[in-house]
Structure 1
């Protein structure tokens, strides 16, 4: 299993981020070929201090090759090109093989 984790720092306009993320970006991301599942949250809690992240997205792929092919596909290119349209704080993308 290969997991993708996208961490979004706080945007300048949280309401605009959420609107675009839910109505434009997530529908694009859900079209990634080979993706097994995805989930996200806009409720990041860091306990007794402010969270360094506003939102988190997770996706599962069967392996790293499938993830790489998905991101190189037209759908993956559309996902990447859309990020600057809503993520004014940028995005940190991590991906890794899951061990048990």
Structure 2
């Protein structure tokens, strides 16, 4: 499996972020082709090291080739382009292959 991990910084207006994210962005992301699943953090995101975060999202795909093709699709590009509409605290986006070790 391969995943995209999005770490959203603390926004200027958390209520606006939360409303927009769940009402507009999540349905937009759900249209990304070949998306196997989405996991969202709940409650506060504790910073054990580094900067605090407001929300963490993980999008799962079958493999890295599928992830790259899906994120490059029109739906993937629309989802990425939507970040400017609500992520005032910034977003760090990482892509990686997964390996279960336990």
Same fold (TM over 0.5): yes
Verify: 1:31 aligned to 2:31, yes or no.
yes
* Structure 2 counterpart of 1:69: 69
TM normalised by structure 2 equals: 0.89
Residue 45 of structure 1 and its aligned partner are, at CA, apart by: 3.6
Report what 2:84 is aligned to. Answer: 84
Aligned length: 99
SS of 1:43's equivalent? coil
Corresponding position of 1:53: 53
- Output the TM-score relative to the length of structure 1: 0.90
Unaligned runs of 5+ in 1: none
Q: Which residue of 1 aligns with 2:21?
A: 21
Q: CA RMSD in A?
A: 1.8
- Cα distance in 2 between the residues matched to 1:2 and 1:53: 22
> Structure 2 stretches of 5 or more lacking a match?
none
